[in-house]
Structure 1
Amino acid sequence: MKKIKLLLVEDEVILAGVVKETLEMNGFHISHAINGVQGWEHYLSFRPDVCIIDIMMPRKDGISLVKDIRAVDEQTPIIFLTAKSETTDVINGLQTGADDYMKKPFSLEELILRIKTLLKRSLPAATGNRNTTGVYLLGNYTFDHNRQELRHEKELIRLSLREADLLKMLAAKPNMITHRKNILLEIWGDDNFFNGRNMDVYISKLRKYLQHDDSVQLVNVRGLGYKLVY
């Protein structure tokens, strides 16, 4: 069976060693870089299936690295590692295109679980295992969940994995409320405060993507959740 290729970009040598050894014991093929410059070089040569990237690093920080990756690759799942606790740092990181984040210190078991959850969604699409059941007509938009694409005559939007999953969850229940807690548990795995703020960022991004058709509205139902009206 082909091993999953994982790019680990982390400048803390001891932490990186523990993470690398643990993931290798769980069947991953690891490429480790110690800063953002080296991380970009490894990304280009290694072509990983998933990336774990620290935010604060010398020479080039993780946010800048993810911006470079997302300029050429919208699909590969990315998890941020951060020692910062401020909500704004997490949100800024996610706005660059990361799919998830973990605050240090973290559980290696939880890290592996989150990696596997993201890979379950990303690998079928990457290997061509697609079908028409993931296609939705949203007003003048065509949303293909498997391809992670939102098409309009004015533009083609390539969605991140989490953006596509969130839009699919809403599109599957047109004009009906999808509760916040259900979204958080289904897509983020936890309905804590930080994940809630994370979800709000993604909702704002989806609204921006859908701005070309006034008949499509992503409505906030106060105290309950969201519904996609189209």
Structure 2
Amino acid sequence: MFFNPRKMEKTKYSILLVEDEENLHDTLKMNLELEGYEVTSAYDGAAAMKAVQNEYFDLIIMDVMLPEIDGISATQNIRLTNNEVPILILSAKSTSADKVLGLKKGADDYLTKPFDLEELMLRIEKLIKKNKIIQEKSTVGDTYSFGGNTIDFKAQEARTANGEKIPLSKKESMLLKLLIENKNEVVPREKILQSVWGYNVYPTTRTIDNFILNFRKYFEADSRNPIYFHSVRGVGYKYTE
């Protein structure tokens, strides 16, 4: 029914397949493996969330109607701790409201059943490639230096230009990394909310402002005339160098 022998020239990417209908699951798994993907199986939302905690995936294919925890709730939960992995929802629910809900809760794409296998494979390939390009463009290493300051993201600490060692909270490290990865570009408040605080927690703009003020105290020679850390009123925040 779904056989498609087309091979993709690519490194071996890993996919988490979350589908409780056994025949469809087995057919999809077979075709994905024929395409050269490594496939891990999950048959309910709880198993999917556990798998994501224990293993890295390049993409998740998520059914909506799942036992125990549905696919939308599982997607939302995964997004609280993992903001990079692309999630493609497969669902028999085809209304605009269903699609909007899936995308709002953290899915990157939404394909309705019944679907064409060729279209599914193309969407998978595009999502993985897009995510890899973003990662390669933006990822910084475990340490980053600027203006005599050094940040150690792994150790969650910084050493300032005057030699002072400063412990960083997890959210400070995450926000610093996000701003530095998008150097010289304004990072919208919404992206900060998703990446640092998660989809269900919405701090006030003042909370993010306080983080920026702290960064200025730590790293700027004159905190009132910042060189590196800027607030762009009504839009977001920016690191410049």
Is the shorter-chain TM-score for this pair beyond 0.5, marking a shared fold?
yes
Distance in structure 1 (CA, Å) of the matches to 2:68 and 2:234: 42
Aligned residue type for 2:119: E
Q: What are the Cα deviations for residues 12-55 of structure 1, in whole angstroms up to 9, with x where unaligned?
A: 10001111000000000000100001111111222111000001
Is the 1:31–1:46 contact (alpha carbons within 8 Å) kept by the matching residues of 2?
Answer: no
Aligned residue type for 1:151: V
Distance in structure 1 (CA, Å) of the matches to 2:190 and 2:43: 41
Distance in structure 1 (CA, Å) of the matches to 2:72 and 2:128: 21
Is the 1:9–1:52 contact (alpha carbons within 8 Å) kept by the matching residues of 2?
Answer: yes
Is the 1:150–1:156 contact (alpha carbons within 8 Å) kept by the matching residues of 2?
Answer: no
Mapping of residues 155-174 of structure 1, within 5 Å: 156-158=192-194
> Which residue is equivalent to 2:187?
151
Is the 1:150–1:158 contact (alpha carbons within 8 Å) kept by the matching residues of 2?
Answer: no
Mapping of residues 35-114 of structure 1, within 5 Å: 35-114=44-123
- 1:155 shift after superposition: 8.6
Is the 1:80–1:100 contact (alpha carbons within 8 Å) kept by the matching residues of 2?
Answer: yes
> Which residue is equivalent to 2:35?
26
Q: Tell me, what secondary structure is at the counterpart of 2:192?
A: strand
Q: Which moved more, 1:147-156 or 1:95-104?
A: 147-156
Q: 1:111 to 1:153 in 2, by over 3 A?
A: closer
Q: 1:91 to 1:212 in 2, by over 3 A?
A: farther
Q: 1:6 to 1:155 in 2, by over 3 A?
A: closer
Q: 1:61 to 1:155 in 2, by over 3 A?
A: closer
Q: 1:124 to 1:6 in 2, by over 3 A?
A: same
Distance in structure 2 (CA, Å) of the matches to 1:67 and 1:150: 26
> Which residue is equivalent to 1:213?
234
Q: Tell me, what secondary structure is at the counterpart of 2:90?
A: strand
Distance in structure 2 (CA, Å) of the matches to 1:100 and 1:154: 19
The CA RMSD measured in Å over matched residues stands at 3.2
Give percent identity, aligned residues only.
Answer: 35
- 1:158 shift after superposition: 4.4
Task: Please say if 1:5 is aligned against 2:14.
Answer: yes
TM-score normalised to structure 1 length? 0.58
Mapping of residues 114-133 of structure 1, within 5 Å: 114-126=123-135, 128-130=136-138
Rg larger in 1 or in 2?
2
Q: For this pair of structures, how many residues does the alignment match?
A: 152
Structure 1: 5+ residue stretches without partners: 132-142, 160-210, 215-230
- 1:129 shift after superposition: 3.9
- 1:97 shift after superposition: 1.0
TM-score normalised to structure 2 length? 0.56
Aligned residue type for 2:50: E
Is the 1:8–1:52 contact (alpha carbons within 8 Å) kept by the matching residues of 2?
Answer: yes
Distance in structure 1 (CA, Å) of the matches to 2:49 and 2:189: 33
Distance in structure 2 (CA, Å) of the matches to 1:63 and 1:52: 12
Q: What are the Cα deviations for residues 152-172 of structure 1, in whole angstroms up to 9, with x where unaligned?
A: 69993446xxxxxxxxxxxxx
